[in-house]
Amino acid sequence: MIKVQTGQIVEFYSNSCSVVSKGKEFKCKIQGRINLVVGDLVEIERTSNNYSHEGIVTKRLDRATALYKSKDKAKKPIAANITHIGILVTKNPKTNLEFIDKWITISINASIDPFIIFNKIDLLPNDEFKEIQKIYESIGIKTFKISAKLNTNIDKLKKYLLKKTAIFVGNSGSGKSTLTSAITGKRILSKALSNNQGVHTTSLSTLYNIDEIQIIDSPGVRDIDIGHLNLKEIILGFPEILNHSLNCVFPNCSHQIDEGCAVQAALKNGDIKESRYNNFIFLSNQEKSR
């Protein structure tokens, strides 16, 4: 009798994966051409007796969410069933606001909750991120100030992540590996880039499950862009702009030099932050040029 059980992919290789099912980890081959990524829930068939931790993935279950990278508007999933995306912001290397707004847009369109992590606060004055924090908290984005290296405020972040599945994104050197290690207690290996701009992890995608917190560490997030999003989807990442756009005189308003543009009026009144508006226009123009 074939033993079929469900589990979750915690490591993914080119033609095999590791699946945790009923508290045990199974090394599994993949049947057919099933499109799988870390975080996927799957059905596996045990290939031997109860003492053998080997199996075959026979089916992928429906994904609640998926994170995609795109090339020429073709989408390729890199991780699944994520609930939250933590955007790491640092002063050195400097995180620009375009990076933050891009990831908020990606998150919202994937039905994933974005939040912001200001890292390396031990190296900065207490009010260093105050203005940026005000911008994003005003549109409902949760923020944290931490030092992953010194474990400052890590307990607050862990409490927030309880029973959630998160993935961290940030520039090279922002501390993704250090933060993942601080939360999971696992030593995440990294190596210096040749241009000394930061560090990156190995090419293996892994899901860590520690104390009811799931963290996905995937190198694929380095390549994510908004190539698969259209203009109507991009504006979803800017809810304050979307809300004011509903009052524009013309439905096809570009929100730039159009007569009767409620977005321009809100920008002049200070109801929309200039950085947010500029990044909305920048991302929108990128989509138009494709």
For the stretch 43-81, pLDDT in tens is 999 887 666 789 999 999 999 999 998 776 678 899 999
Q: Provide the CATH number for the domain formed by 66-223 in this structure.
A: 3.40.50.300
pLDDT digits (tens, 9 = 90+) for 118-135: 999 999 998 999 999 999
The fold of 231-289 is Ribonucleotide Reductase Protein R1; domain 1 (1.10.40)
Residue 197's pLDDT is: 41
279 three-state secondary structure: helix
82 vs 108: CA distance, rounded Å: 12
Residue 69's pLDDT is: 85
Confidence band, pLDDT 50/70/90 cuts, at residue 213: very high
Whether CATH 2.40.50.140 fits 4-60 = yes
Mean pLDDT in residue range 160-169: 97
13 vs 196: CA distance, rounded Å: 28
Whether the Cβ atoms of residue 65 and residue 48 lie closer than 8 Å to each other: no
Domains in the chain: boundaries: 4-60, 66-223, 231-289
* pLDDT above 90 (res 101): yes
pLDDT digits (tens, 9 = 90+) for 18-33: 999 999 999 999 998 8
Residue 290's pLDDT is: 67
Residue 223's pLDDT is: 72
